[in-house]
Structure 1
Amino acid sequence: MSREPYLGSHLDTTPPKYSGPLYPLDKSAFRKSIPVLAARVPASQTSLILRSEVTRKYLIGLPKVRPVVSDPSAPDGDKLVLLGVSNQDDLSPESMKLIESKSNGFANYNLVLDYDYWTASELLQAILPEKLREGAPVGFAATGHIAHVNLNDEYLPYKKTIGQLFLDKNKTIKTVVNKLDSIDTQFRFFQMEVIAGEPDFIVEHHESDCRFTFDFSRVYWNSRLHTEHDRIVQSVHPGEVLADVFAGVGPFAIPAAKKGCAVMANDLNPASYTYLCQNIKDNEVFDEVRAFCEDGQAFIRNVFRRVYDTPFPPYTGPKLSKTALRKLQKQATRDKSSNKTSSSEEISPSRRKIDHFVMNLPDTAILFLDAFRGVLANKALQEIYSTMPIIHCHCFTRELESEKAEADIRQRIEEKLGAPLQDDTEYRKVRSVAPGKEMYCISFRLPSEVACAAEA
């Protein structure tokens, strides 16, 4: 996206049209000399010109261009204050009077802009044919050192050029990839091709004060979902238990654990599971997160019993150190063996009840909801679930109007559950994925008649 010129600018700072090779680019072709007017000002007086309301709007005012430079004809003499006009007639009488009183006259100055000056988007406008300029890619999603783009077919002949521009203009980016249409049907990550930089897919990505390491080419990660990750984490409270059915490498699980939640985290993809375990260790939440690598339906059917049989230790507050927590756990074990009730159990009992489920697999998550049928058929489990867990289920819909989208999602979920949803069900549009395709998150309390139904 081109930058807006500053107020009063009459300078053409667009890059020159390019007709050289597409790859590699001839960077020397992007050189433009612009004649501007400059005032010869003693160094001690430059601040007066720069700060004055009368002259400020006539300064050069361009990104990356210093308004005060040395005079090439007299490097040790007066400074040149660059103005955003080509001749004196463009100055107001007030500004002319001030400049004349503080300067030693005017000079002509050639401002030279080159490849380093313009943004990737501005350069693309000079490179692409006119019919492709509108709608040209203006940015990318960054994951660690990787920039990933989704190029439409008409831009594929220019993919290496686009990759080179994004690489050159972003110093933290080392690899640029284009996502392809093909998707791994089992683990849902995109196939991709490197269009610039090194084929290094192992990234370290920081989000929500957590550090995530993973192979971007083998797991699913979408940096655009950062706000949604944070929203879900904020909806759970310290001390609660969260079950993450499609946990990936932990964008929900790790921050929730750092907040003080206990988490059962699962992902079928072995690569995701491997990095999930690494991220649990790197973020030091190994006491709060238990990782699994199994089918989502099996995980849902088994997780209620797992948490009941092997509960998480009592929540003791965020300020308790790991050492103190382990001592508390040991004390609880000793008290249990001697049939005593520890003071910690009286304050906050062991956590054996799941409060939330997150199901972030929008393409198919709804299809897994029938796994909740009969999960609390056991009487012992029913006794501790006076309130049912809240399910945060992500899904896609082709309905663009909110009322129709909500009706579509509700109908599909109720059909899969075999029971109606309560009136307090919440719908939230997460983002537009593509033309005619919206991503939503629906949060609802698991119907008791579903959870407590006779086991199939």
Structure 2
Amino acid sequence: MTGLLPEDALGEVPVGFAIVGHVVINKIDDVGAASEFRTFSYEVLAGPDDMNVELSEGNCIGPFAVPAGKKGVFVWANDLNPDSYEALKDAIARNKVSTHIRPFCQDGHTFIPHAADSLLALTQTNSNIITLPAKRPRNPSSSAPLPAPKTLTLPPTISHFILNLPAIAISFLPSLIGLYASSSSLFAPHTTTKLPLVHVHCFSTKSEDNIREGREIAERISKEIGYEMRAIEGEGDVDEEGMVRITEVRDVAPKKRMFCASFRVPRDVAFRERVVKV
């Protein structure tokens, strides 16, 4: 295709496609350009103009929260779009993970500190214990007692944040400032608990080694949280304060690539005075 198209049209060469259900569509504007709910205009290329399809990935419905919940991870999941929020609740019910996933429909800037505060509040009010009903054995005998109910204990602090909207996810990072401003005693060196790891998706340019892109992404993160961050180049670890691991996700255009930047919230950021008021 690059040999046939004129130079000024090479930016439109597709780098991949996905098949979902029975329709084939083409986006005719950028995702999120017309709506804060991340919807977009489209044209139908093949199949009926019916967007009601069902997608299953890894025997789940839902790409992030549900697979984690099925593995026994507690997840506070958020989506600003009311329709997506309803679909999230439906996916939680379909996949039977309501004990591990709690859905929210909030602005992301508010949700980040709200998630930390609400989880901590459950511990402070002794509401962090979930009791599961006892399951009867498949072939019970009349004299066999029921097994004891199983209990699950929610942790007081968050281990990971996943910010998965690459076009705007970095802009949510100021919400990490002051995340645990009044709860520093919950973390090292007072305990063995580490501050949360953040996995933020974003777009940048593309090169063979991603070094230039890593430095550019680290600079953007530094600007948002008011703390100097450096991309790991060779040796280095995200547990080292101020270090960011840049992982290539996929190409999205001839000159555009999606990345995931992972870093642990620096102490100076987490314990600073909070910016976002909940």
Whether these two folds match at TM > 0.5 is: yes
For residues 244 and 15 of structure 2, what CA distance do their matches in structure 1 show? 38
- Percent of residue pairs bearing the same amino acid type: 37
Alignment of 1:320-331 (within 5 A): 323=134, 327-329=149-151
Asked whether 1:141 is paired with 2:18, we answer: yes
Q: Give SS of 2:66's match.
A: helix
Q: Give SS of 1:195's match.
A: strand
Asked whether 1:442 is paired with 2:270, we answer: no
Query: Residue 251 of structure 1 corresponds to which residue in structure 2?
Result: 63
For residues 424 and 142 of structure 1, what CA distance do their matches in structure 2 show? 37
Asked whether 1:181 is paired with 2:3, we answer: no
Query: Residue 383 of structure 1 corresponds to which residue in structure 2?
Result: 185
Query: Residue 416 of structure 1 corresponds to which residue in structure 2?
Result: 224
Query: Residue 403 of structure 1 corresponds to which residue in structure 2?
Result: 211
Structure 2: gaps spanning 5 or more residues:
6-11, 136-146, 189-193, 230-240
* Residue type at the aligned position of 2:173: L
Give TM-score scaled by structure 2 length.
0.76
* Residue type at the aligned position of 1:427: I
Q: Is the 8 A contact 1:399 1:408 kept in 2?
A: no
Query: Residue 8 of structure 2 corresponds to which residue in structure 1?
Result: none
Structure 1: gaps spanning 5 or more residues:
1-129, 146-173, 213-249, 330-343
Q: Give SS of 2:37's match.
A: coil
**As a proportion of its length, which structure holds more helix?**
1
Give TM-score scaled by structure 1 length.
0.47
Structure 1 398/137 Cα, relative in aligned 2: closer, same or farther at 3 Å?
A: closer
Structure of higher RCO (CA pairs closer than 8 Å, 6+ residues apart): 2
RMSD: 3.0
Query: Residue 367 of structure 1 corresponds to which residue in structure 2?
Result: 171
Query: Residue 192 of structure 1 corresponds to which residue in structure 2?
Result: 42
Task: State the Cα distance separating 1:426 from its structure 2 match.
Answer: 1.3
Task: State the Cα distance separating 1:283 from its structure 2 match.
Answer: 0.3
Post-superposition, which runs of at least 4 consecutive aligned residues in structure 1 deviate over 6 A?
Answer: 135-139
* Residue type at the aligned position of 2:250: R
Q: Give SS of 2:28's match.
A: strand
Query: Residue 232 of structure 2 corresponds to which residue in structure 1?
Result: none
Q: Is the 8 A contact 2:165 2:202 kept in 1?
A: yes
Task: State the Cα distance separating 1:271 from its structure 2 match.
Answer: 1.1
For residues 454 and 261 of structure 1, what CA distance do their matches in structure 2 show? 30
Query: Residue 432 of structure 1 corresponds to which residue in structure 2?
Result: 251
Query: Residue 141 of structure 2 corresponds to which residue in structure 1?
Result: none
Task: State the Cα distance separating 1:175 from its structure 2 match.
Answer: 2.1
Query: Residue 76 of structure 2 corresponds to which residue in structure 1?
Result: 264
Alignment of 1:45-444 (within 5 A): 140-143=17-20, 145=21, 174-185=22-33, 186-210=36-60, 212=61, 250-311=62-123, 313=128, 323=134, 327-329=149-151, 349-378=153-182, 381-386=183-188, 387-398=194-205, 400=207, 401-421=209-229, 422=241, 424-444=243-263
Q: Is the 8 A contact 2:24 2:47 kept in 1?
A: yes
Which of the two has higher C-alpha Rg? Answer: 1
